[in-house]
Every structure is written in structure tokens, then in C-alpha cells.
Structure 1
Amino acid sequence: MTTSYNGRLTSLSHGGGCGCKIAPGVLSDILKAAPMRNLPAALLAGSDNNEDAAVYQINENQAIVATTDFFMPIVDDPFEFGRIAATNAISDIYAMGAQPLFALALLGMPMQILPLEVIRQVTSGGGSVCNDAGIMIAGGHSIDTVEPIYGLVAIGVVDPKKLKRNNGARAGDSIILSKPLGIGILSAALKQEVLSEEGYQEMIALTTKLNKPGVALSQLDGVHALTDVTGFGLAGHLLEIARGSHLKAQVNWHAIPVIQEAVEHVKADIFTGASTRNWADYGNEIELASDIALWQQNVLTDPQTSGGLLISYAPEQEAEVLAILNADGFNSAQKIGQFVSGKGLSVD
């Protein structure tokens, strides 16, 4: 990490994107120190089971959905950093099946290091994504920090009867992943200056694609659980659904969509430290087939910044789920496994 600006935002931070997240086990210990008590019945979702957002019911047909997400730069281009951070924050609204309403900006910048024009580009990038989502940035808060930080508080609304949580999976459900894995690996390659221009453009395209299908998916009764894949990796977020639903997730490695260039880099031992921390936290809950190599393990735990939706649904609704995803350009969406009785995660 440097103390002067050389045109590379990533040089000003010790981590980037959702790879900045505190490891899941450590986060759990922190939250235990301040348990939530005397919760009102109107609070439909809180910090239990690491839900994507808090949900508070205000009447029979409406509940407010609130979330916040922010991180340090995953790319050097300030406009694209703003776009990625905003897309990632709004994703948690879509992951609850909710419609976003508005956002508040969270901005922390090293004011003595970064030119004002660079900071303006970050906020402009975030604003452009909010415009794409059909919402406005209605306010926010800014501070002078050591490392650059940007993100949003996102507010949405959902019919409580259509709310999708990460603990509603049922035995026999199929699992679809809507975006390919490998974003964390590409970000590590970018930091090491070995990411190709094609890989960079794919990274930008994936991390700035809004998870809008979450709204339409919430209307399907056969969609039982929904979340997005972010800093804890595919394995971590599958385990969250499995734990909350008291089930076991079974995944077919060969069905998982993975960015091809990410495979090349991870095979060359280029991946994030967050991947290793993730495995240390929850690897004891995972059964890997004997032919699963270490690089594949690192893909399963790779932190995804603005990753895809993870959908648990009744098999008979597969055509409808895929039609919704494909209509919005999620052409890499694949069925990757199913939920069965038991606990944990197995990968064959």
C-alpha cells in the first residue's frame, strides 16, 4: 500500500472488493458480543443466518428492505470502482426479491492523496448504476480516511408474502447459479498485473450487471430460497442456505460456471487471501470428492464481488427460472446441484 497516488487506486488499499470482508467465523464471534434482543414481530429478517438485508413489515402488503455494503477498490479506474461498489450494494435488495427504492452514498477518501476529480469519478460511477436501477442517491455521508472506500445504503420494498430468504430451501430443490465464479481470482491477477484486457473487460461486465431478475423470481412460488454470492464464496453462501434450511447441498463441480481466464490464473496459484480464510472457517463442513484439486477448492471459496444469484427452487419450475434469467442476459446461468436431507456441502 502506497501513500501517494500513482494512478492505481488498488495501490492505496490492503484489500479490494468483497475480498475485504471479515472472515465468516470471526464475524460470527463479533455479532455474538451484541446479540439482538426483544425483536419486534415486524422484523421479518435481521442478522440471523447472515441474511442479505434487514426486512421490516409496515403493513399487510409492504415491508421495507434495508442493506449496506462498501469496500475498497477492486479496480484502478475510479468510475468503474464506483459502478462495481454500487452494483454490489443494490444486489442485496434484489437477493431478497425486493424492488430498490433509493440509496444513500457512503464515501471515505484519503483527501490529501486523491485528486478531487478522481473522487468525483467514483461517485459518478455509483450514480450511473443507480440510474440503471431506476433509483436515486438521496443523500449519504463522507469522511476523510486512510484508504479509499465507497458503497451504498440501499433501501427497497417487497410484499412480505413474496419475500425470499436464505433459509427456505426444501429437500429436493434444485440449485441455479446465475453468474460464473472467478471474480476474486481475476482481481488478484489484476493486482499482479497479469490480467489480460479481455479478462478485465469480462470482470467489469460481470461485476456491474445488476441482479434485477431477483424481483421476477420472487413472484414464483416454486422459488424457495434466494441469496447472492459475495465475499464468502459459492461454498460459504451455499452453506448459509444449507444451515438455515437444515439441509445438505450437493454440487456437481463440472456444472459450475467458471470464468476461463480465472481457471488459468488459479492453476498458477493466483488467488486471494480471502479464499484461504474462507476455507479455514468452513472447510470442515465440506466433503470434496477425491479428484477435486486445490485449485478447484480455491474457486469454490473465491470471494465474489457483485456475484450472481444463488437460487433454490422446485425442479418443475426450472424452465421458468431459466427463462427469467436468460431474458435479462444471464446466459451463463446453470443448474449446479440440489438440496437433500442432511447437513453441510458435498462437491463431486
Structure 2
Amino acid sequence: MTQASPTEPRPTEPRLTSLAHGGGCGCKIAPGVLSGLLRGSAALPVPPELLVGIETSDDAAVWLLNDRQALVATTDFFMPVVDDPHDFGRIAATNAISDVYAMGATPILALAVVGMPINAISHETIAAILDGGASICREAGIPIAGGHTIDSVEPIYGLVALGLIDPALLKRNAEAQPGDLLVLGKPLGVGVMSAALKKGDLDSAGYARMIDITTKLNRPGPDLAAIPGVHAMTDVTGFGLGGHGLEMARGSGCDLVIDWSAVPRLPGIDALIEAGHVTGASGRNWASYGDGVALPDGFADADRALLTDPQTSGGLLVACAPDALEAVRAAFARHGFDDAAVIGQAGARSDSPRLILR
């Protein structure tokens, strides 16, 4: 297969992905390393207005403004996951805004975070990246109200994204309840596809599917937050379904049980994994949190690679009461998330919560 991208770089320019040691959410520092780096931050004083901080590795910080409004603040940026500059900008912006939606909030504005190797790529290429990000912000109905730029060795682009929510509707990643059903909004496999793309082994249909899924805004977030039976929500990104599922389990104090056969995956993923297209981040993820995951006997290495696959601009993971499932399905359907699927259930309370695969 051959790599397909709508816009090829100028003949004198290197491919964007060749300038980066990693791409997309696969660039994330491994969760085990990150927890060690942040250990000192946990001792800082927490004002009462800070409703959500770093304590459960949630998707965004939340600051109480008044009885009816809370400010949701997050930032996300990374190096190129594709060579097309416009697509890179779109993916990075979609991924950043997703953290606002994952809290159940409505985005209100963004700031651009830009680092570019000025002497390695043209101004036209950089402008195309910025335009791609701006196009997604227009789609989300928000302005890019400012930002910051630097001359860097590797191309970096992303956003600071801000949103608003009624604090009564706020959805954390740490409030799943025993018996809740788990619903995943997008199929897995973006990291595998990006690895294949970088090696020139992703065909045009695969590329189109990858772009479609990574530039699909997680708009159901605010609708889901308004459903009383929705108890917890997060988005599945760089730590994979395994990592973000385990964060939900630990934060909520109950096991999460995943029915692996029910987990949606992008078309052609199994063949790509078999061909060796697995990101280095997948192995780092497993090394960081594998001791908190219980796999069934005979669980294939390929399946473990997909469980830990870093999802750039991945789907929402929702924990809801069984009687709220119909409303949750309807919220996803209204926004065109046809792949949304029930993938498991929250189990019993536990002093050492795990992610359990069945």
C-alpha cells in the first residue's frame, strides 16, 4: 500500500512527520513517568473554587465562577501525525477541544500554541497548519482569540481551549457507579493507522477514514452531561482505552469490566497490526499501567497493542446507568456517531480497582 495525503509537501521541504520524533497523542510522556513528575504538584494548596485539578488525571481543570457557571480550561498540543499541514492543524485542534467536551462543557474560545522550525518548512505550510486549526474552531463555533508562537526544532501545534458549564452538570472521570454501562463513542486504531502512514503503508481509503475520525468533534459531550443517568465521562486519547479506562476505574473506586469483543475498531486495523504497525507509545503505555489491567488467558499480543494504542482525538468514554442508555445512544446518534457502542460495565467497589478484560 502507499501513503496518500491530499497535499504533498513542496519539493524542497521535508515531510512534516519526518521532522518529529513522534506524532499526535503518541507523543505523550508515558503515564508512569508523568505521575512521578507531577508528584510534587499534588502538595500544592487547592482553593475551594478549583472543582477539578490534577487529582484524578481528569481531562481539564474546572474553576467555579458562580452558582450557575464554571470555567473549564485545558491545553493540548503535539507534533505532526500526518504530512498534510491543513489536516495536521484540524486534527490537533479537534483533539484539544475534545477535553472541554469530555467534561460536558461547551467551548467558548481558544488560544493557539505554535512552535515551528522556521528555516525547515515554508511560511505557506505553517499558514496551512494554522488555517486547519482555525477551520475546526469555526466548526465548533469559537474564535481563536490569541496564542503564542516560537521557533522550534520540531513542528508543534495545538490549542488552549476554554469552555463553560453549569457546575451541577459537570462530568468527571471519577464518578462511575457499580452497575453503570460503559459506552465508547469512537472506534480504536488511530495510533496503528498513524504508524502505518509514517511508513507509507496506509492506502487512500485508510487515510480518509483516519482523517474523518480524528477531525470529528466530540459534540455529544454537553448533551450527555444533561442526562441525569450519566455519571462519568472522559475521552480516550494518548494512554489508550486501557489507560483512560483504568483512570476512570481508580478514580471511581470500582473495577471496570470490558467486553473486548464489543469494542469497535477501525476497518483494516487487525491487518495493520499484523504487519507490524504498532506505535512505541503502545509499549510504553503497557509498561506504565499493565499491572492494573487483568487480561484473560490467551489474550493476543495484537489485542493488547490495540488496548494500549494511543488515540489521537479519540472518542468519549461514558459511564451511565442502564436506564439512561437509550438517551445516551440518542445523544451520540444526533451528532452522527454511528460507531458508538456499549463495551462493558462498572463492577464492584474495590480498594484496588482494576480494568478487567473479558
Q: Given the two structures, how large is their TM-score scaled by the length of structure 1?
A: 0.98
Could you say which residue in structure 1 is the equivalent of 2:226? 219
Deviations 1:95-125 (A, max 9, x none): 0000000000000000011100000000000
Question: SS state of the match for residue 133, structure 2?
Answer: helix
RMSD: 1.0
> 82, 97, 104: which one pairs with 1:90?
97
Give 1:177 deviation, angstroms. Answer: 0.4
Q: Which residue of 2 aligns with 1:140?
A: 147
Cα distance in 1, alignment partners of residues 28 and 41 from structure 2:
19
Residue 42 of structure 2 contacts residue 55 of structure 2 at CA under 8 Å; is this kept in 1? no
Instruction: Give 1:346's aligned residue.
Output: 356
3-state SS in 1 of match to 2:38: helix
Which residue does 1:167 correspond to in 2? 174
* Per-residue CA distance 1:253-295 (angstroms, 9 max, x = gap): 1100011222111122211000000000111111111131000
Sequence identity (%): 54
Amino acid at match of 2:357: V
**Partner of residue 50 from structure 1, selected from 44, 57, 65:** 57
- Partner-residue secondary structure (3-state), 1:49: coil
CA contact (8 A) 1:82 1:126 kept: yes
Alpha-carbon contact 1:5-1:12 (below 8 Å) kept:
no
Tell me the secondary structure at the aligned position of residue 318 of structure 2: strand
> C-alpha displacement at 1:7, in angstroms?
4.5
- What SS does structure 1 have at the residue aligned with 2:331? helix
Instruction: Report the equivalent of 1:112.
Output: 119
Report the counterpart of residue 256 of structure 1 in structure 2: 263
Within 5 A, what are the aligned runs for 1:329-344?
329-341=336-348, 342=350, 343-344=353-354
Structure-to-structure mapping, 1:115-130, within 5 angstroms:
115-130=122-137
2:51–2:61: 8 Å Cα contact kept in structure 1?
yes
Q: Secondary structure at the match of 1:188?
A: helix
Q: AA paired with 2:146?
A: G
Q: Is the 8 A contact 1:70 1:150 kept in 2?
A: yes
1:6-44 per-residue CA deviation (whole Å, 9 max, x = no partner) reads: 441100000000000000010000001333422111100
Distance 2:150 2:334 in 1: 40
Per-residue deviation, 1:50: 0.7
- Rounded to whole Å, the distance in 2 between the matches of 1:35 and 1:6 is 44
Hey, which bits of structure 1, 4+ residues long, moved more than 3 A?
Answer: 4-7
How many angstroms apart in 2 are the aligned matches of 1:156 and 1:321? Answer: 22
* Matched residue count: 345
Structure 2 portions without partners, runs of 5+: 1-10
Q: Is the 8 A contact 2:42 2:54 kept in 1?
A: no
Is 1:267 aligned to residue 274 of structure 2? Answer: yes
Give the distance between the partners of 1:196 and 1:36, measured in 2 at CA.
49
TM-score (norm 2): 0.95
The match for 2:67 is: 60
2:246 maps to 1:239: yes
**1:72-99, CA deviations, whole angstroms, 9 ceiling, x for partnerless residues?**
0000000000000000000000000000
Whether the aligned pair in 2 keeps the contact of 1:7 and 1:76 (CA below 8 Å) is no
Matching residue within 191, 195, 200 for 2:207: 200
Deviation, 1:5, is 5.9
Correspondent of 2:160 among 138, 153, 158: 153
The answer to whether the 8 Å contact 1:5/1:113 transfers is: no
Alpha carbons 2:14, 2:121 under 8 Å: kept: no
Q: Pick closer, same or farther for the CA change 1:262–1:6 going to 2, 3 Å.
A: farther
Alpha-carbon deviations, 1:198-222, whole Å to 9, x = none? 0000000000000010010000110
Matched AA of 1:327: R
- Name the amino acid aligned to 2:29: I
Give the Cα–Cα distance (whole angstroms) in 2 for the partners of residues 33 and 40 of structure 1: 17
Distance 2:284 2:295 in 1: 17
Where does structure 1 lack aligned partners over 5 or more consecutive residues?
none
Q: Aligned partners of 1:283 and 1:99: how far apart in 2?
A: 34
Q: Deviations over 1:175-200 (max 9, x none)?
A: 00000000000000001111111000
On the 8 A contact 2:193/2:202 being kept in 1, the answer is yes
- Are the counterparts in 2 of residues 173 and 314 from structure 1 also a CA contact under 8 Å? yes
Specify the alignment match of 1:188 in structure 2. 195
Paired with 2:293 and 2:34, the residues of 1 have a C-alpha distance of 20
Following superposition of structure 1 onto structure 2, how do residues 236-315 of structure 1 map, counting pairs within 5 Å? Answer: 236-315=243-322
Say if 1:182 and 1:263, in contact at 8 Å, map to a contact too.
Answer: no
